[in-house]
Amino acid sequence: MKNIVSFLLLFTIAAFAGDKKEHNHSDHNPEMKMLQHEQDSSKQTISHVMISLPTIQCDNCVNTIENAVNNVQGVESVKVDLEKKKAHINYDADKVKTEDIENAITASGYDANDRKRDEQAHDALLACCQSKR
Protein backbone atom coordinates (compact mmCIF):
# COMPACT_ATOMS: atom_id res chain seq x y z
CA MET A 1 0.00 0.00 0.00
CA LYS A 2 2.87 2.34 0.88
CA ASN A 3 4.36 1.75 -2.60
CA ILE A 4 1.07 2.62 -4.31
CA VAL A 5 0.74 5.90 -2.38
CA SER A 6 4.35 6.80 -3.14
CA PHE A 7 3.81 6.01 -6.82
CA LEU A 8 0.64 8.13 -6.97
CA LEU A 9 2.38 11.00 -5.20
CA LEU A 10 5.34 10.93 -7.61
CA PHE A 11 3.01 10.59 -10.60
CA THR A 12 0.97 13.62 -9.47
CA ILE A 13 4.08 15.75 -8.90
CA ALA A 14 5.49 14.77 -12.29
CA ALA A 15 2.20 15.54 -14.02
CA PHE A 16 1.96 19.05 -12.55
CA ALA A 17 5.64 19.89 -12.89
CA GLY A 18 5.74 18.97 -16.59
CA ASP A 19 8.69 20.20 -18.54
CA LYS A 20 7.92 23.85 -17.56
CA LYS A 21 8.01 25.04 -21.14
CA GLU A 22 5.51 27.70 -22.08
CA HIS A 23 2.75 26.52 -24.36
CA ASN A 24 1.02 28.81 -26.85
CA HIS A 25 -2.61 27.81 -26.57
CA SER A 26 -3.52 30.06 -29.49
CA ASP A 27 -2.08 27.44 -31.86
CA HIS A 28 -5.04 25.19 -31.08
CA ASN A 29 -7.73 27.80 -30.43
CA PRO A 30 -8.97 29.99 -33.31
CA GLU A 31 -10.53 32.48 -30.89
CA MET A 32 -7.16 32.98 -29.18
CA LYS A 33 -5.50 33.50 -32.58
CA MET A 34 -8.06 36.19 -33.41
CA LEU A 35 -7.54 37.89 -30.05
CA GLN A 36 -3.78 37.78 -30.51
CA HIS A 37 -4.13 39.31 -34.01
CA GLU A 38 -6.33 42.08 -32.63
CA GLN A 39 -3.75 42.84 -29.95
CA ASP A 40 -0.95 42.93 -32.55
CA SER A 41 -2.93 45.24 -34.82
CA SER A 42 -3.80 47.55 -31.93
CA LYS A 43 -0.15 48.59 -31.66
CA GLN A 44 -0.66 51.80 -33.61
CA THR A 45 1.13 55.10 -33.46
CA ILE A 46 -1.83 57.43 -33.02
CA SER A 47 -1.02 61.08 -33.65
CA HIS A 48 -3.12 64.22 -33.47
CA VAL A 49 -3.02 67.19 -35.79
CA MET A 50 -4.98 70.43 -36.02
CA ILE A 51 -5.46 71.72 -39.53
CA SER A 52 -6.48 75.29 -40.28
CA LEU A 53 -9.51 75.58 -42.60
CA PRO A 54 -9.73 79.29 -43.45
CA THR A 55 -12.26 78.89 -46.29
CA ILE A 56 -15.03 76.93 -44.53
CA GLN A 57 -18.30 78.79 -44.07
CA CYS A 58 -21.16 76.48 -43.06
CA ASP A 59 -22.25 73.04 -41.82
CA ASN A 60 -22.15 71.71 -45.39
CA CYS A 61 -18.46 72.59 -45.48
CA VAL A 62 -17.96 70.74 -42.20
CA ASN A 63 -19.69 67.62 -43.54
CA THR A 64 -17.76 67.69 -46.81
CA ILE A 65 -14.40 67.95 -45.05
CA GLU A 66 -15.23 65.34 -42.40
CA ASN A 67 -16.32 62.90 -45.12
CA ALA A 68 -13.19 63.56 -47.19
CA VAL A 69 -10.86 63.06 -44.23
CA ASN A 70 -12.71 59.99 -42.95
CA ASN A 71 -12.08 58.36 -46.35
CA VAL A 72 -8.31 58.60 -45.88
CA GLN A 73 -6.96 55.21 -44.83
CA GLY A 74 -5.36 55.48 -41.40
CA VAL A 75 -7.56 58.30 -40.08
CA GLU A 76 -9.10 57.31 -36.76
CA SER A 77 -11.34 60.34 -36.17
CA VAL A 78 -12.00 63.87 -37.38
CA LYS A 79 -13.94 66.73 -35.85
CA VAL A 80 -14.26 70.06 -37.63
CA ASP A 81 -14.87 73.16 -35.52
CA LEU A 82 -16.71 75.64 -37.76
CA GLU A 83 -16.38 78.55 -35.33
CA LYS A 84 -12.60 78.18 -34.98
CA LYS A 85 -12.17 76.99 -38.60
CA LYS A 86 -9.99 74.07 -37.55
CA ALA A 87 -10.07 70.30 -37.92
CA HIS A 88 -8.91 68.02 -35.10
CA ILE A 89 -7.73 64.74 -36.56
CA ASN A 90 -6.44 61.56 -34.92
CA TYR A 91 -4.60 59.24 -37.28
CA ASP A 92 -2.26 56.27 -37.44
CA ALA A 93 1.11 57.83 -38.26
CA ASP A 94 2.34 54.49 -39.61
CA LYS A 95 -0.34 54.55 -42.32
CA VAL A 96 -0.86 58.19 -43.25
CA LYS A 97 0.97 61.54 -43.19
CA THR A 98 -0.41 64.97 -42.37
CA GLU A 99 0.17 66.04 -45.96
CA ASP A 100 -2.09 63.18 -47.17
CA ILE A 101 -4.87 64.52 -44.97
CA GLU A 102 -4.30 68.07 -46.20
CA ASN A 103 -4.41 66.79 -49.78
CA ALA A 104 -7.77 65.13 -49.15
CA ILE A 105 -9.13 68.44 -47.85
CA THR A 106 -7.80 70.48 -50.77
CA ALA A 107 -9.13 67.88 -53.22
CA SER A 108 -12.58 68.42 -51.71
CA GLY A 109 -12.41 72.15 -52.52
CA TYR A 110 -11.05 73.81 -49.36
CA ASP A 111 -7.78 75.34 -48.23
CA ALA A 112 -5.91 73.30 -45.61
CA ASN A 113 -3.16 75.06 -43.66
CA ASP A 114 -0.97 76.64 -46.34
CA ARG A 115 -2.18 74.31 -49.12
CA LYS A 116 -4.58 75.84 -51.62
CA ARG A 117 -7.84 74.23 -52.67
CA ASP A 118 -8.50 72.44 -55.92
CA GLU A 119 -10.38 75.08 -57.92
CA GLN A 120 -12.49 72.59 -59.91
CA ALA A 121 -13.60 70.87 -56.71
CA HIS A 122 -14.32 74.27 -55.15
CA ASP A 123 -16.46 75.31 -58.14
CA ALA A 124 -18.48 72.09 -57.76
CA LEU A 125 -19.37 72.85 -54.11
CA LEU A 126 -22.77 74.16 -53.09
CA ALA A 127 -23.05 77.93 -53.56
CA CYS A 128 -23.05 78.51 -49.79
CA CYS A 129 -19.69 76.70 -49.54
CA GLN A 130 -17.92 78.61 -52.27
CA SER A 131 -15.69 81.32 -50.89
CA LYS A 132 -13.73 84.16 -52.37
CA ARG A 133 -10.08 84.51 -51.51
- Residue pLDDT, tens place only, 13-69: 555 555 444 444 444 444 444 444 444 555 678 999 999 999 999 999 999 999 999
All domains of the chain in start order, with CATH: 46-129 (3.30.70.100)
Name the pTM for this structure.
0.68
Question: Between 82 and 10, whose confidence is greater?
Answer: 82
CA separation, residue 63 to residues 69, 80, 132 (Å): 10, 8, 20
- Averaged pLDDT score across all residues of the chain: 81
